[in-house]
């Protein structure tokens, strides 16, 4: 009878320990962090296992990369720098740690990402202007802000995919047409005199 009693006591103790653990639960912060990580990983892994490397899948992978790097910067509270080599069709992230640049710990980021042979960068519009070749870098800040940029990808059939990143909110817009930067506002000639400061002479 003693072995039966000891086994019952063991089961009761295990049951009590489980209920005590479950009563603690997870905090909202822990759940949010896990969700951020899962979304980031899915954005990277799913496009990589896709067999059809067309313009749309490349665009989705690029959007997933931007979202993941934004989350990485916010979670690590460190600025992340995305290098884009337009001539070779390669891009990779680095974490800025003081004056040093480090490779992200996640194994998904160890090797640079390559565009397929059928897709290449047409141009990238950044704050400094339009880049048709060479290297471009984008910064992702711990506050969630991203450097403004508009990427234009082209495939062998001259189909265009535009990816525009809104800097403040981090919103990403995709289009099958070119997205040009907004033109500066021009002031009509008839309104200019009204905006000029008039000097009034005060007579004593």
pLDDT in tens, the chain (204 residues): 444 444 445 444 444 444 444 456 778 888 877 887 777 766 665 544 443 468 888 888 999 999 999 999 999 999 999 999 999 999 999 999 888 999 988 888 888 999 998 999 999 998 888 899 999 999 999 998 898 899 999 998 889 999 998 877 778 888 888 888 766 556 667 766 776 655 444 555
d(CA 16, CA 22) in angstroms, rounded, equals 10
d(CA 151, CA 15) in angstroms, rounded, equals 56
Q: Are 122 and 147 in contact (CB under 8 A)?
A: no
Q: Are 81 and 137 in contact (CB under 8 A)?
A: yes
pLDDT the model gives residue 35: 82
pLDDT the model gives residue 1: 45
pLDDT the model gives residue 4: 45
d(CA 108, CA 39) in angstroms, rounded, equals 14
d(CA 78, CA 74) in angstroms, rounded, equals 7
Calculate the alpha carbon distances from 54 to 60, 90, 108, 120 in Å: 10, 16, 21, 11
Q: In what helix (H) or strand (E) does residue 8 lie, and over which residues does it extend? A: helix 2-24
Contacts of 91 (CB under 8 A, 6+ apart): 65, 82, 83, 84, 85, 112, 113
Q: Are 79 and 104 in contact (CB under 8 A)?
A: no
Q: What number of residues does the chain have?
A: 204
**Residue indicated by tokens 């403004």:** 148
Instruction: Count Cβ atoms below 10 Å from residue 49 Cβ, excluding itself.
Output: 6
pLDDT the model gives residue 24: 63
Contacts of 50 (CB under 8 A, 6+ apart): 57
Q: Where do the domains of the chain lie, and which CATH numbers do they carry?
A: 24-175 (3.55.40.10)
pLDDT the model gives residue 77: 93
pLDDT the model gives residue 51: 38
């Amino acid at each position: 009878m003693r072995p039966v009693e000891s086994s019952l006591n063991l089961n009761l103790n295990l049951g009590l320990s489980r209920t005590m653990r479950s009563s603690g639960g997870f905090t909202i912060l822990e759940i949010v962090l896990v969700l951020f990580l899962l979304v980031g990983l899915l954005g990277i892994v799913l496009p990589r296992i896709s067999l059809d490397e067309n313009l749309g899948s490349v665009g989705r992978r690029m959007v997933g990369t931007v979202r993941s790097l934004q989350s990485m910067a916010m979670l690590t509270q460190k600025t992340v720098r995305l290098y884009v080599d337009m001539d070779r069709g390669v891009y990779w992230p680095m974490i800025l740690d003081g004056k040093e640049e480090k490779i992200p710990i996640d194994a998904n980021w160890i090797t640079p990402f390559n565009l397929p042979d059928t897709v290449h960068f047409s141009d990238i519009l950044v704050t400094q202007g339009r880049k048709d070749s060479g290297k471009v870098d984008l910064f992702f800040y711990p506050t969630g802000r991203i450097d403004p940029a508009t990427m234009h990808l082209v495939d062998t059939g001259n189909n265009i995919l535009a990816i525009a990143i809104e800097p403040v909110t981090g919103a990403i817009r995709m289009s099958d047409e070119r997205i040009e930067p907004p033109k500066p506002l021009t002031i009509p000639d008839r309104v200019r005199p009204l905006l000029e400061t008039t000097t009034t002479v005060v007579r004593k």
